[in-house]
Amino acid sequence: MPPEDVCRRARLARDPRFDGRFIVGVLTTGVFCRPVCPARAPAEDNVRYFATAAAALQAGYRPCLRCRPERARLLPSWTIASQTVGRALQRIEQGFLNTHPVRELAATVGVGERQLSRLFRQELGATPKGLARMQRLALARRLLDDTDLSISDVALGAGYGSLRRCNDELRRVFGRSPRELRRRGPADRPDALRLRLPFRSPWRANWVFPFLARRALSGLEEVTHNSLTRYVDGHAVSVQLDGDGVVLSVPLELSSATAAVVARTRQVFDLDADPGAIDGHLGVQPDLAAAVRAMPGIRVPGVWDPFEGAVKAVLGQQVRVDRATVLATRLVAAYGDGAFPTPKALVDADVASVGMPGARGQAVRNLARAVLDRGPDFLSDAGEVRPALLAIDGIGPWTAEYVAMRVAHDPDAFPASDSAVRKALDTTAVDAERRAEPWRPWRAYAVMYLWASGGTARPAPNPTMET
């Protein structure tokens, strides 16, 4: 959270750059607001600042019905200082605490339940339970506003175990029943729930969608200039660009997984990035200034499935993107049964038969074995993914950094040996590593700018845009 004097100036100016960075609690009304709330600004003596909406809720405040603080843009988990909290928060965002106790969440990140709660209070001002509670409330309210789902389907989609629990919680927090909160009358039952997910502008659609299109797997994904469709368990999840956000459509058959689908969508499209902070830092770097001016708001696209993303990274070793995508599509056809192959399907498979070198096929099998042995969570953990991957035969530094960048979403990942990075900088991997030091902690975004620059970042031969 910013210092209190910064928070004060930001709320008085209603500065949209600070929306989502802190929450304003108002003592006289008992509500908490976004810094951009249009209501009359209260006196500073009557204000308390919180790092998160969950912290304000836990302190006894209720959400403002005017500015809707539960809908504020989020900052990504990697902006949090504690890696343990960041890793646990990722799982909470995917709905882990809707079906598991806090002690199991703590075990997944290697600490005790009390220690995890203490770390959460230090970083976010609220406990893990408080964060999960706020997430369920926010999702339920969004489903009420943005969809025509029945109240029972809203309860299911938001992660409540029962309709009664959902009703009681919404009435307790908002002072109104779900039907009273809904802004319109009943409608026909829809075939999908549709949610609008905002992003911080600028957001380069002409970078993100083409990037994803080049890597789309035939039969699993369809990408246009402004939309993406991904088939999950045979059902089409679609994402459509819509102004300063995207509209996510989730089939009702997947409604119980709504929280996980929302979390994955936010990562695939990097919706929570703060381009003001990122471009403000990278835009003054000599090697990057021209690219940032030409294409502000570039994102680091994520992946739908961690294992899939890691396998595609292995397939992309020393080959062009198009070739790696062909190999991945062949894997789906040979071993996927309508989805990307599971680790179990690949661990003993003749992977090289789809047209790759035998050593690379063995690396895929080794990766599958590692995921079977320890579970897939390490692939999404920015602190664990590099050493874990480098311990696997056939996987080197480029692959480890690429997976850290796109799967674990580490904003500072930097594949210095990448051919397009070296060409754009007209230098060696060792020198690229040295020159990238001032770009921390946003080196992954710098890589995107170098790939997008087409060699114009520095006077150098014109490189192809590769992974």
User: Where in the sequence numbering do the catalytic residues fall?
Assistant: 33, 418
């664990």: which residue's tokens?
384
> What is the residue-wise DSSP string for 331-363?
HHHHHTTTSPPPHHHHTTS-GGGGTS-HHHHHH
Q: Residue 298 to residues 282, 284, 408, 437: CA-CA distances in angstroms?
A: 11, 16, 18, 20
* Dihedral sign for Cα atoms in the order 411, 340, 328, 369: positive
Which helix (DSSP H) or strand (DSSP E) does residue 47 occupy? Answer: strand 47-50
Q: With beta carbons less than 8 A apart as the criterion, state whether 31 and 62 touch.
A: yes
CA-angle at 356, arms to 352 and 359, nearest 5°: 70
Please name the amino acid found at residue 136: R
Which residues, in sequence order, are CB contacts of 209 under 8 Å at separation 6+?
Answer: 223, 224, 225, 226, 227, 228, 241
Helices (H), 147-269: 151-158, 163-174, 178-181, 205-214, 258-268
